[in-house]
């Protein structure tokens, strides 16, 4: 039962997220510029609710008083507990990347009218079925 419907596409616009619970696991589903990514809502550093953190960019500067520039704007998630920065698209932590990586899950967008049998609807399933047929569902796939 690896696949779960967690939201409609329209429910998570670009730059937004939805935190869902699937099989007892809290998971954050993010829309980054139209692409969807899902991360375990536990910071691998100290267990904080990572997916509730600020979505930002990777801020850079060469010196105090110099220009601040941002890379990967909208793709960096900062844990609300200690501020550790993670790449939303890969779950990769910027600090200590070898040993610190949060769990990420495969996400796909399935057409609303083409749900294969066997999909496990997530918590939002009931409502979405009531939405019009043009809507698409966000589906999170958990490892088998």
Q: Is 59 in the site for another protein (CB under 8 A)?
A: yes
How many whole angstroms separate alpha carbon 77 and alpha carbon 83? 9
Q: How far is the CB of 43 from another protein (least distance, A)?
A: 10
Pick out residues in 16-35 that bind another protein (CB under 8 A): none
Taking residues 92 to 111 in sequence order and writing x for each that binds another protein by CB under 8 A, - otherwise, the string is --xxx---------------
Joined tokens for residue 143? 């490892």
Nearer to another protein, 84 or 137 (CB): 84
Specify whether the CB–CB gap between 120 and 141 falls below 8 A: no
Residue from 85, 86, 102, 104 binding another protein (CB under 8 A):
85
SS3 144: coil
Joined tokens for residue 129? 């079925």
From the list 15, 21, 18, the residue with the least C-alpha distance to 7 is 18
Residue from 83, 97, 113, 129 binding another protein (CB under 8 A):
83
How many whole angstroms separate alpha carbon 32 and alpha carbon 76? 10
Q: Write out the residues near another protein by the rule CB under 8 A.
A: 45, 56, 58-66, 68, 78-79, 82-85, 94-96
């Amino acid at each position: 039962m690896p696949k779960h419907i967690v939201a409609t596409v329209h429910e998570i616009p670009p730059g937004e997220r939805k935190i869902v619970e699937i099989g007892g696991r809290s998971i954050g589903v993010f829309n980054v510029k139209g692409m969807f990514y899902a991360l375990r809502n536990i910071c691998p550093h100290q267990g904080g609710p990572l997916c509730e953190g600020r979505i930002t960019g990777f801020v850079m500067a060469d010196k105090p008083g110099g220009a601040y520039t941002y890379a990967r704007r909208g793709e960096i998630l900062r844990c609300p507990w200690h501020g550790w920065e993670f790449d939303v698209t890969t779950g990769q932590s910027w600090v200590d990347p070898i040993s610190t990586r949060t769990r990420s899950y495969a996400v796909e967008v399935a057409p609303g009218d083409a749900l294969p049998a066997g999909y496990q609807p997530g918590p939002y399933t009931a409502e979405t079925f009531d939405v019009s047929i043009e809507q698409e569902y966000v589906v999170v796939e958990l490892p088998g």
